[in-house]
Amino acid sequence: MKISVLADYREKSSGVPDLLVSKGAILDYGQLYAGDYIVNDEIIIERKTNTDFVHSIITGRLFVQCAKVRKVNMLPLIIVEGNPFDTAHKVSADSIKGALLSVSLAWQIPVILSSGKEDTVLLMLMAARQQLNPPEFIRKTSVKPKTLQRRQHYFLRNLPGIGAKLSQNLLAHFRSIEKIVQADISELLEVDGVGQVKAEKLYRFFRE
């Protein structure tokens, strides 16, 4: 059975789409809401270089991307190309380990390390084939609703300038991550613990 891949336009110059085609995948391009690749309409994959991954930890964008990926009703996967512990960014190994654990446990998104683009393509194709012909002992499972609030709090308190208390206040006021992201400055100012400076920073952060 053929493997179909929908790639985001931004991945066109990476070389990965060409490698997928060379391996027999049917490729198309589109503007994806989340992730970089959608495989067989069932697996959504976020591809990052080791440098991109660490930078997304620093900026907090990693958890924004996790939130978007989890909103899509597909099996999620993050592939990191290269060693995330060996980049030019001055980030402690514990911080990187913490982020990897958070993505895997709190967000329930598997993270796989690859040696490079060729390895990434092989992993993508292996994932597709396993999904097409899963072993009998593997059953599809969905995220239990009771974990949603925990993921929401974890996402918010990992953003710059937001701790556990403020994350609770934001969710109590807006009720969802989506409404927080879409809120304007005046709406953010209505939340207990959010001043003008913090409201402006949050507003800019969600729109970068």
Q: Within its chain, how far is the Cα of 22 from the centroid?
A: 27
Contact 80, 53 (CB under 8 A): yes
CATH class, range 145-205? mainly alpha
Instruction: Supply the pLDDT for residue 92.
Output: 86
Report helix, strand or coil for 15.
coil
Say which residue, 77 or 180, is predicted with more confidence: 77
Where residue 208 falls among pLDDT bands split at 50, 70, 90?
A: low
Domain boundaries, the chain: 4-132, 145-205
- For the domain with range 4-132, which CATH number is right: 3.40.50.10130, 3.20.20.10, 1.10.8.60, 2.70.170.10? 3.40.50.10130
Q: What are the residue ranges of helices labelled H in the chain?
A: 16-22, 50-59, 61-71, 93-101, 117-132, 148-157, 164-174, 177-182, 185-188, 196-205
Given a cut of 60, whether residue 136 has pLDDT beyond it is: no
CA neighbor of 77 nearest in space, from 44, 42, 28, 117: 44
Say which residue, 1 or 146, is predicted with more confidence: 1
